[in-house]
Structure 1
Amino acid sequence: MQLPDDKKIRLMYRVEPGCLGPQGADHIEDFCRYANKHIKSPYYGQFLFLPRFDKQKDERQYSVKSRNLSRVQAKAYLNHFEIDIDTFEEQLDELLTKAIDLYFKR
């Protein structure tokens, strides 16, 4: 099953430089390019990894058709695909952790 891009939920995930260790600020932009290339999005979604330099912005921002969704709206959207948002986010965090390990082992 494949959804058209305008029907997919988009998750903009802002990655903290500190996730990459003490020198994270030196690596964060390159890592986000790496993550965007290597972490595959599910059929119903689209991931975008960006550095999180501004703490005022949320770590995760969901949207559909460029319209931002609240967490409640994102949860309802994912429920349509029988996906629990908490499980979804936990699995994505695990993928991100693995990607960090692979990034540094390159």
Structure 2
Amino acid sequence: MELADDKKLHLLYRVEPGCLGPTGAETIERFCEYANQQITPVYFAGYHFVPRFDKTKPERQYSINQKLLSAPQTQAYLGHFKTSIDDFEEQLDELLTEAIERFLNR
């Protein structure tokens, strides 16, 4: 099933440098580029990974067609695809963890 880009859920995921260890701040930008290339999103979503240098911004930011969504709006959207926000984020976190392991060659 293919979904038009303007109908997809887009997730801006701000990745903490610390997830890459003590030298994470030095490699987080390269890791985000790597993650953007290596992590394949589900058909109804798109992901964009960026470093999280500003702690005042949320870790995850959802939108559709550049319109920001609240948590209930995001949950309603995901409900159309028979998933919850918790399951969606858990699966993505697992993919991100695997990408970190590969990036760090563990």
Query: Which residue of the partner structure matches residue 94 of structure 1?
Result: 94
What are structure 1's unaligned runs of at least 5 residues? none
Offset at residue 3 of structure 1 (A): 0.2
Letter in 1 for 2:59: E
Q: How many residues align?
A: 106
Query: Which residue of the partner structure matches residue 58 of structure 2?
Result: 58
Distance 1:35 1:89 in 2: 15
Offset at residue 83 of structure 1 (A): 1.0
Corresponding position: 1:76 with 2:82: no
Distance 1:101 1:82 in 2: 29
Offset at residue 50 of structure 1 (A): 0.4
RMSD over aligned Cα atoms:
0.9
Corresponding position: 1:19 with 2:19: yes
User: What SS does the corresponding residue of 1:47 show, helix, strand or coil?
Assistant: strand
Distance 1:97 1:81 in 2: 24
Letter in 1 for 2:63: S
TM-score normalized by the length of structure 2: 0.98
Corresponding position: 1:33 with 2:12: no
Distance 2:2 2:100 in 1: 28
User: What SS does the corresponding residue of 2:32 show, helix, strand or coil?
Assistant: helix
User: What SS does the corresponding residue of 2:42 show, helix, strand or coil?
Assistant: coil
TM-score normalized by the length of structure 1: 0.98
User: What SS does the corresponding residue of 2:104 show, helix, strand or coil?
Assistant: helix
Distance 1:42 1:88 in 2: 10
